[in-house]
């Protein structure tokens, strides 16, 4: 079935009153705030939370298995939700991003519409979040909505950054997550009152967020510090990476995940590199507009980190995008922009600089460009920074979770050898005999078995 044969159902003005928009969930904190923005602008919206094994079963049923894992998960999650009986299928619409770039993600919207046809639900509208690619009469992404969405990404990044550095050390279990939930609701209310997403109001909220996280009682202990990079969906989405962050924290680690704002700026900056490398620009007026937007967002990012630093010295803070993009210049050319391109190497170098030398690189098995810019760059990165401890992990429907976790444990065993005074994870009871065993303990025999079962081919590195 060609793209021309796939029916497109418009989201009409009348549907805005009657239909519920179903949103995929990539970053729980960020997308909760973004969902509230949709509601504030008069849309009914719901963030999908279904994560059963049926999600990938539906994805494999309606998406060819040659397509990348994120496509299977996003489309599978939506089809699974529609079949759950929870929604009136005549009164729902699906929302998905459409970048227009070289990645196969640009085709997700067509794959989703094709899946709806195969599932006899072609009457369900698919709303594209994009910049100038598709329009719908009932959905308008206004300037104010865009500003609030950018602010939601900034808030989400700073809340995640401070929360991730607080949760592993908190004295009162659950206090960090409760504060994250509280601020999510507060920000939604502020946006509803048309405040909190610009200028001094934004800075004031960042200041209060920093104060609140700094006030949480924490233990003065050392933990293994792990950074997570990779393909954007697998890196962020718990559904995509088998709740990687939860696993790492259970293993006694503190986790840092570079934020979504950096990816947004990377995407904007690539337009400048395209002009520099290839000359011209499709619409000359667009280039200064992109430059202005990029400069504005970078200045806001600088303000965020500066504000937190003024409030407390409790947290490790990145220097920002301008510094980050310089870190990969000797590793990979800035003209490389597929599969997270030069940003991935820059994030690894930045994490090492910030004190997170142990890196999990989370990748969908079917994303060849991401493997090239990730595994392909490891040798250059470790030649420049020999102490970086990187493990690439493939995520795929056929990959066993235990194999993924065993490879990560091997990486953590190396990290513990370098940091013997780090706190070990709490011992857990065995289900069978109630005896205790540490989840990170790896004997020489087990290490050899794991290494043999998870051996990486030389061509992968």
Q: Are residues 10 and 131 located together in one domain of the fold?
A: yes
Q: Are residues 114 and 254 located together in one domain of the fold?
A: no
Q: Are residues 125 and 251 located together in one domain of the fold?
A: no
Q: Are residues 242 and 368 located together in one domain of the fold?
A: yes
Lowest-pLDDT choice from 126-140, 223-237, 368-382, 437-451: 437-451
Region 152-175 average pLDDT: 97
Q: Can you tell me the distance from the alpha carbon of 395 to that of 180, in angstroms, rounded to the nearest whole number?
A: 28
Q: Are residues 323 and 450 located together in one domain of the fold?
A: yes
Count of domains for the chain: 2
Q: Are residues 125 and 229 located together in one domain of the fold?
A: no
Residue 146: pLDDT above 60? yes
Residue 80: pLDDT above 90? yes
Residue-level pLDDT at 188: 86
Residue 399 counted as domain residue:
yes
Residue-level pLDDT at 254: 98
pLDDT band, very low/low/confident/very high, at 2 (cuts 50, 70, 90): low
Range of the domain at 30: 3-141
Lowest-pLDDT choice from 34-43, 124-133, 315-324, 344-353: 124-133
Q: Are residues 378 and 241 located together in one domain of the fold?
A: yes
The rounded mean pLDDT for the chain is: 87
Residue 427 counted as domain residue:
yes
Residue 78 counted as domain residue:
yes
Residue 147: pLDDT above 70? yes
Residue 274 counted as domain residue:
no
Indicate the pTM of the whole model. 0.88
Residue 96: pLDDT above 80? yes
Region 196-224 average pLDDT: 95
Region 264-273 average pLDDT: 86
Residue 154 counted as domain residue:
no
Residue-level pLDDT at 287: 64
Residue-level pLDDT at 227: 98
Q: Are residues 133 and 238 located together in one domain of the fold?
A: no
Residue 59 counted as domain residue:
yes
Region 354-360 average pLDDT: 98
Residue-level pLDDT at 461: 33
Q: Are residues 113 and 245 located together in one domain of the fold?
A: no
Residue-level pLDDT at 53: 92
How confident is the model over 288-339, as pLDDT tens digits?
Answer: 777 888 899 999 999 999 999 999 999 999 999 999 999 998 999 999 988 8
Q: Are residues 135 and 233 located together in one domain of the fold?
A: no
Residue 436: pLDDT above 80? no
Higher pLDDT, 142 or 155: 155
Query: Domain of 369: which CATH number?
Result: 3.40.50
Residue 273 counted as domain residue:
no
Residue 437: pLDDT above 50? no
Q: Are residues 225 and 123 located together in one domain of the fold?
A: no
Final residue of a structural domain among 141, 156, 181: 141
Residue 270 counted as domain residue:
no
Q: Are residues 137 and 241 located together in one domain of the fold?
A: no
Final residue of a structural domain among 106, 141, 176: 141
Final residue of a structural domain among 141, 172, 189: 141
Region 169-194 average pLDDT: 93
């Amino acid at each position: 079935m060609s793209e021309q044969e796939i029916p497109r159902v418009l989201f009409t003005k009348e549907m805005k009153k009657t239909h519920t928009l179903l949103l995929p969930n990539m970053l729980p904190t960020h997308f909760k705030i973004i969902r509230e923005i949709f509601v504030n602008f008069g849309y009914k919206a719901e963030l999908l939370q279904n994560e059963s094994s049926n999600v990938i079963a539906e994805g494999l049923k309606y998406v060819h298995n040659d397509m990348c894992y994120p496509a299977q998960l996003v489309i599978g999650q939506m089809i699974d939700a529609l079949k759950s009986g929870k929604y009136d299928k005549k009164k729902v619409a699906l929302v998905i991003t459409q970048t227009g770039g070289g990645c196969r993600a640009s085709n997700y919207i067509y794959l989703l519409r094709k899946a709806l046809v195969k599932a006899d639900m072609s009457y369900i509208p698919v709303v594209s979040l994009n910049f100038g690619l598709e329009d719908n009469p009932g959905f308008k992404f206004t300037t104010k909505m865009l500003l609030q969405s950018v602010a939601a990404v900034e808030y989400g990044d700073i809340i995640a950054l401070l929360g991730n550095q607080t949760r592993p050390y908190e004295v009162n279990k659950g206090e960090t997550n409760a504060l994250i939930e509280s601020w999510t609701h507060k920000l939604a209310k502020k946006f509803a009152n048309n405040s909190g997403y610009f200028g001094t109001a934004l800075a004031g909220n960042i200041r209060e967020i920093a104060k609140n996280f700094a006030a949480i009682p924490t233990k003065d202990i050392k933990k293994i510090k792990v950074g997570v990079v990779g393909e954007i969906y697998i890196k962020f989405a718990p559904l995509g990476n088998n709740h990687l962050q939860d696993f790492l924290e259970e293993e006694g680690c503190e986790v840092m995940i570079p934020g979504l704002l950096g990816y947004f700026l990377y995407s904007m900056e690539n337009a400048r590199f395209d002009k520099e490398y290839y000359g011209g620009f499709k619409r000359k007026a667009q280039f200064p507009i992109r430059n202005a937007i990029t400069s504005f967002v970078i200045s806001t990012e600088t303000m965020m980190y500066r504000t937190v630093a003024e409030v407390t010295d409790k947290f490790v803070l990145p220097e920002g995008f301008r510094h980050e993009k310089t870190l990969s210049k000797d590793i990979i050319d800035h003209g490389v922009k597929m599969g997270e391109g030069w940003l991935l190497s820059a994030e690894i170098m930045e994490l090492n600089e910030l004190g997170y030398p142990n890196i999990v690189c989370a990748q969908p098995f079917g994303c060849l460009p991401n493997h090239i810019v990730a595994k392909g760059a490891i040798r250059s990165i470790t030649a420049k920074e020999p102490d970086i401890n990187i493990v690439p992990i493939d995520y795929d429907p056929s990959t066993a979770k235990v194999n993924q976790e065993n490879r990560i444990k091997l990486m953590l065993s190396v990290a513990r050898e370098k940091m013997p005074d780090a706190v070990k994870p709490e011992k857990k009871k065995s289900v069978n005999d109630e005896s205790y065993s540490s989840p990170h303990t790896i004997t020489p025999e087990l290490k050899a078995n794991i290494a043999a079962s998870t051996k990486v081919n030389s061509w992968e590195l």
